[in-house]
Amino acid sequence: MFDQLSGRLEKMLKFLRGEVKVTDKNLAEALKMMRLAFLEADVNYRVVRDFEARIKEKALGEEVLGGLNPAQQVIKIVHDELAAILGGAEKPLQFSNRPPSIFMLVGLQGSGKTTTCGKLARWVAGIGKNPLLVSFDMKRPAAQEQLKTISASLGFPFYEMTSARMASPKEALKELKIHSVNRGYDPLIVDTAGRLHVDDELMDELRLVRDILNPTEVVYVGDAMTGQDAVRSAQAFEEKIGLSAVILTKLDGDARGGAALSIVSVTGRPIKFIGVGEKPDKLEVFHPERMASRILGMGDILSLIEKAQDEADVAEAEEMARKLRKQEFTLEDFKKQIVQMKKMGSLSDLLGHLPQVGPFKNLAKAQVDERKIVHFAAIIDSMTVEERANPRLLNGSRRARIARGSGRPVYEINQLVKQFQGMQRMMKSSSVRKLVGGLK
Ligand SMILES: Nc1nc2c(ncn2[C@@H]2O[C@H](COP(=O)(O)OP(=O)(O)OP(=O)(O)O)[C@@H](O)[C@H]2O)c(=O)[nH]1
Ligand SMILES: [Mg+2]
C-alpha cells in the first residue's frame, strides 16, 4: 500500500536531505516533486493545492527547531500536514451509552460492506462486545445468505430480515431492538444494499433504514482501489444521508492511496478502520500519524523529532560547559541557564546534582523560587551588552538604572551580581572545572 507514493516522496526527502539550507528555490523544487507524487497517487487536486500552500507557508515561516537541520524541519512539516489530512488525532468508534449501538454500513456495490460487517463484528468482539449481524439488503436474495454464512463461520448471531418482516419496516425494527435488548446484543452491525452508481432509489431506501434505525455510526465503506471515485461517491452519500465515519477497504492491493489522502478533507469524516485483505482479521484501526510516517517511509520520524528536541538541550549544555571551562561564562549565559532550568521543571532534582557548597548553596536556594528566576531574568534584560559581559562595570548609578528598568530593588541586583561572581570564583577552582568538564 502506498508503495509508489512512498517511493516518490522518498526521492523528495533525499533531495531535501542533500541540501544544507532550505531556500525559495530548492523548496519550490521539493514541493514540485511532492505535488507530482500526490497527483500520481490520484489525490484530489484541490487537496494537493491546499496541502502545498500550507507546507510552503510553514516551511518559510517556521523557526528552525534546535537539532533538526532545515531539511529535516521541512520533512517534519510534511509529516505533520500529512497526518492532518489523514484526519489528525485518532477517532475511535462511537458506542451509544444506551445499548444497543447501531453501526450501519453503506457504500457502492462491491466496496466490501458485507465482508467488513464480519470483520467489524470480530473486532468489537475482541474488545468484549457481543455483536448481532443483520442485513437490510433485500434486493439480492443471496445478500442475506452471504452475511449469514460469514456470521456462522465467525460464530456470531445473525438476525434474518425477511421481505415479510420488511413489509412494515418500523415493526420489524421494533422487534429487532427488543430481540437485541433481551439477549444483550451490542452492537447491531447492519449491512445494506449497494448499487453500481449513486442513484435516488438507493438513497431513498438508505434514508428510510437510517430514519428508523437512528444509527450510532453511519459508516461509508469505500473501495480504495477506485481512487477518486470512492471519494466522489462518499461525498454523495454524505450529502444525501449523512455519514459519521469511513472505512477504506482493499488497501492491500495496489491502491495508490489517493482515496485515503483525499477522503477526510473532502467529506470531513474520519477514517476509522482500513481493510487490508479479504480475511476476517484483515481490519486495522486507522492511525493517521502512523500512516503518515509509513507513507513517508520513516517509521522513526517521531522519535527523531523527539530526540532532536533533547539534542537541542544537550548542545546548549555542552556549550555552557565549554564556556564555564574557559571562563567565558557571562551574565547572558547565566540568564540562559536559569531560563533553561525553569523550562526543565524539576529544578530541585537538577540542583540536587550540584555540590551544595559555597555560592552554589545560595544559588540553589535562589533558583528554587520560580519568581526569583523571572526577577533575575528581568534584571539581566535591563543590562547593556557590555554590562552582561563584564559585571564589574556595574557601579552604583548603573545599578540604580537597572533597578528602574527591571522594576526590582537595588539589593536584588546586588544579590544577583554577588551570586554570579561567587560562581565565577568557583569556576576558577580546578576541582569544579573538572566537575563541569565531566558533566559533558
Ligand atoms: N483484497 C481485499 N478484498 C476485499 C477487502 N474487503 C472486501 N474485499 C473483497 O471485495 C469483494 C466484495 O466484497 P463484499 O463484502 O461482498 O462487498 P459489498 O459491498 O457487500 O458488495 P454488494 O453487497 O454487492 O454491494 C469480495 O470479493 C471481498 O472479498 C479488502 O480489504 N481487501
Ligand atoms: Mg454486500
Q: Which residues line ligand 1 (CB under 6 A)?
A: 107, 109-115, 137, 143, 194, 249-250, 252-253, 275-278, 282
**pTM value > 0.85:** no
Identify the bridge partners of residue 249 per DSSP, sorted by sequence position: 223
**Strand order across the beta sheet in which 188-191 lies:** 158-159, 132-135, 188-191, 102-106, 217-223, 245-249, 271-275, 283-285
What is the C-alpha to C-alpha distance for residues 72 and 78, in angstroms, rounded to an integer?
Answer: 10
**Is the pLDDT at 326 greater than 80, yes or no?**
no
Taking only the tens place, the pLDDT of each residue in 134-153 is 999 877 878 999 999 999 99
**Is the pLDDT at 353 greater than 80, yes or no?**
no
Hey, which of 104, 108, 109, 115 would you mutate to test ligand 1's pocket, going by the most ligand atoms within 8 Å of its Cβ?
115
What is the C-alpha to C-alpha distance for residues 14 and 239, in angstroms, rounded to an integer?
Answer: 41
What is the C-alpha to C-alpha distance for residues 252 and 403, in angstroms, rounded to an integer?
Answer: 69
For residue 130, give the DSSP letter: B
The answer to whether 138 and 163 are in contact (CB under 8 A) is: yes
Quote the longest CA-to-CA distance of the chain.
100
- Span from the CA of 209 to the centroid of ligand 1 (angstroms): 22
The per-residue DSSP string of 23-67 comes to: -HHHHHHHHHHHHHHHHHTT--HHHHHHHHHHHHHHHHHPPPPTT
What is the pLDDT at residue 64?
A: 53
In the chain, % of residues over pLDDT 70: 79
What is the pLDDT at residue 365?
A: 47
Residue of 358, 371, 347, 369 whose CA lies nearest to 418:
358
What is the pLDDT at residue 341?
A: 56
What is the pLDDT at residue 199?
A: 87
Burial annotation 325-337 (CB, 10 A radius, 16+ → b, else e): eeeebbbebbbbb
* Banded model confidence at residue 222, pLDDT cuts 50, 70, 90: very high
- Span from the CA of 116 to the centroid of ligand 1 (angstroms): 8
Instruction: Say which range, 174-183, 250-259, 300-309, 332-341, has the weakest mean pLDDT.
Output: 300-309
Nearest CA to ligand 1 atom 1: 277
More confident call, 272 vs 80? 272
- Span from the CA of 191 to the centroid of ligand 2 (angstroms): 7
What is the pLDDT at residue 338?
A: 66
Taking only the tens place, the pLDDT of each residue in 162-214 is 878 878 888 888 899 899 999 999 999 999 999 888 888 889 989 988 998 89
Cell of 408: 526590582
What is the pLDDT at residue 300?
A: 39
**Is the pLDDT at 97 greater than 70, yes or no?**
yes
Per-chain mean pLDDT for the chain = 81
Identify the bridge partners of residue 159 per DSSP, sorted by sequence position: 134
The answer to whether 105 and 244 are in contact (CB under 8 A) is: no
Q: Where in the chain is the domain with CATH 1.10.260.30?
A: 303-439
What is the pLDDT at residue 344?
A: 47
The answer to whether 130 and 244 are in contact (CB under 8 A) is: no
**Is the pLDDT at 132 greater than 70, yes or no?**
yes
Cell of 431: 576541582
What is the pLDDT at residue 409?
A: 93
Q: Where in the chain is the domain with CATH 1.20.120.140?
A: 3-85
What's the mean pLDDT in 15-32?
81
Cell of 154: 465467525
* Banded model confidence at residue 366, pLDDT cuts 50, 70, 90: very low
**Is the pLDDT at 314 greater than 70, yes or no?**
no
Which one of 3.40.190.10, 1.20.1530.20, 1.20.120.140, 3.40.30.10 gives the CATH number of domain 3-85? 1.20.120.140
- Span from the CA of 111 to the centroid of ligand 2 (angstroms): 8
What is the C-alpha to C-alpha distance for residues 2 and 286, in angstroms, rounded to an integer?
Answer: 15
What's the mean pLDDT in 50-78?
76
What is the pLDDT at residue 74?
A: 80
Whether domain 303-439 has CATH 3.90.550.10: the reply is no
**Is the pLDDT at 130 greater than 90, yes or no?**
yes
CA 133: distance to chain centroid?
33
Q: Where in the chain is the domain with CATH 3.40.50.300?
A: 102-287
Ligand nearest to the CA of 224: 1
Q: Which residue has the cell 452471504?
A: 146
The CATH fold assigned to 102-287 is Rossmann fold (3.40.50)
What's the mean pLDDT in 314-332?
68
Q: Which of 114-128, 290-304, 331-345, 364-378 has the highest mean pLDDT?
A: 114-128
What is the pLDDT at residue 214?
A: 92
Helix axes 3-17, 24-40, angle to 10 degrees: 170
The type of residue at 99 is P
What's the mean pLDDT in 83-98?
92
Strands 283-285 and 271-275: antiparallel
Cell of 160: 434474518
What is the C-alpha to C-alpha distance for residues 221 and 205, in angstroms, rounded to an integer?
Answer: 17
